[in-house]
Amino acid sequence: MLICRIYGAEDLRLEEVPQPEIGAGQVLLKLGAGGICGSDLHYFQHGRVGSFVIREPLIPGHEVSGTVAKTGPGVTRVKEGDKVAINPSHACGTCKGCRAGRENLCSSMRFLGSASVFPHIQGAFREYFVMGERQCIPVAAGVPLGELAFAEPLSVALHSVNRAGNLLGRSVLVTGAGTIGCLTVIAARLAGAARIVVTDVVDRPLAMAREVGADATFRADQLPKEPTELQQALGEIDLALEVAGHPAAVATCLAAVVRGGRIVQVGSLPGDGIHLLANQIMVREIDYVGTFRFGVEFEWSVRFLAEGRVNIRPLLSGQYPLRDALTAFRAATDKTKSTKVQLVGA
Ligand SMILES: [Zn+2]
Ligand SMILES: [Zn+2]
């Protein structure tokens, strides 16, 4: 079978390996669709994501759906032929974070397609892969595998909205209109936000944001820097979700939110830190909180997608067969043409 492996920066290879064996409680899955995520692109372009450095060949891919090809002894949750969403998050279930119901903070997390630990956790950009049955969530046959593969990024957006608190009737700013930014717009709307404003430095993502429900969009590079003028341009903002992971966007959020407002840091910021007008957090009593991956939201996300309660279709800009992974990775890097690019099984 075919697998996609990253050996280091700009070194992505397609290789033939034998099909894996399964044991008790395990499921053999055939790749349905797998979204190329920002972190996969970072591994491809730089051989690393922040402090996670590739130290052995890594199979990327964690936003995946598939079809059950075979089940091992004792598996009851799924059967051969089932369409499944795959939860890439394997928490230990026993550490302090897990016991507190915050499994995304697990101290022994094994996350699919990640170099966060060594040996690395191999991902799902391969024709067939093995998962424990706990990671497989079966859905009705009618749901397209490409849409189901949005379960992971949608969970990230749902978790960030959970960290934002009550959005009902609130006015929300989202900085960054890539896949996660647009899914954040969808999640904020689902949570009852009254007005959603989005900023980005590229026009195409802003058009996408409008298509999935943003009320107003602005070119971040054309907004006034001065706080009063910025507030006038954006209108009253109760809450900001900083998805871009850019120092300038953090500054925009800080200047834009009302006194007593909240900023949720969704995007990952440069490793060497940022300059922050920290006194603004104090004098205007701003809550500045982080959000990381997701927990229980994965199952909600699968349900919302399976029941057609969210429309993510505009965000799917291309699907490529696994053997064209290199072309797909190159397409995914071009934000003027692509939102979410997926690899699909044969
Ligand atoms: Zn991702
Ligand atoms: Zn744990």
Judged by DSSP in three states, 47 sits in: coil
| Nearest ligand by distance to the CA of 157 | 1
Q: How far is the CA of 293 from the centre of ligand 1 (A)?
A: 8
Q: Answer for the pair 217, 200: CB distance below 8 angstroms, yes or no.
A: yes
What single DSSP character describes residue 58?
B
* E-strand stretches of the chain: 2-8, 11-16, 26-35, 48-49, 52-53, 63-71, 83-86, 89-90, 110-111, 128-132, 136-139, 171-175, 195-200, 216-219, 237-242, 257-265, 287-290, 316-321, 340-344
Q: What is the Å distance from ligand 2's center to 227 Cα?
A: 42
Helices 325-333 and 38-46: angle between axes, nearest 10 degrees: 100
Would strands 52-53 and 83-86 be described as parallel, antiparallel, or unpaired? unpaired
- Ligand 2 midpoint to CA 89 (Å): 11
Q: What is the pLDDT along the chain (346 residues), one digit of tens a residue?
A: 999 999 999 999 999 999 999 999 999 999 999 999 999 999 999 999 888 999 999 999 999 999 999 999 999 999 999 999 999 999 999 999 999 999 999 999 999 999 999 999 999 999 999 999 999 999 988 899 999 999 999 999 999 999 999 999 999 999 999 999 999 999 999 999 999 999 999 999 999 999 999 999 999 999 999 999 999 999 999 999 999 999 999 999 999 999 999 999 999 888 778 888 889 999 999 999 999 999 999 999 999 999 999 999 999 999 999 999 999 999 999 989 999 999 999 7
Ligand 1: centre distance to CA 285 (Å): 32
Give 152 Cα–ligand 1 centroid separation in angstroms: 7
What is the 316 CA–ligand 1 centroid distance (Å)? Answer: 14
Q: Which ligand is nearest to the CA of 62?
A: 1
What is the structure's pLDDT at 158? 98
What are φ and ψ of residue 343, in 5° steps?
-100, 140
Query: pLDDT value at position 201?
Result: 97
Q: What is the pLDDT of residue 129?
A: 97
Note the ligand closest to the C-alpha atom of 106. Answer: 2
How many Cβ atoms from other residues are within 10 Å of residue 285's Cβ?
Answer: 10
Q: How far is the CA of 229 from the centre of ligand 1 (A)?
A: 35
Cis peptide before 138 (omega within 30 of 0): no
Contact 29, 68 (CB under 8 A): yes
pLDDT at residue 275, rounded to an integer: 87
Sequence-separated (6 or more) residues with CB below 8 Å from residue 286: 254, 257, 260, 261, 262, 263, 280
> What crossing angle do the helices spanning 297-306 and 151-164 adopt, rounded to 10°?
120
Beta-sheet strand order (sheet of 287-290): 216-219, 195-200, 171-175, 237-242, 257-265, 287-290
pLDDT at 274: 87
Cα(219) to ligand 1 centroid in Å equals 25
Span from the CA of 192 to the centroid of ligand 2 (angstroms):
32
| Predicted local distance difference test score (pLDDT) of residue 273 | 81
Q: Which residues surround ligand 1, an ion (CB under 5 A)?
A: 37
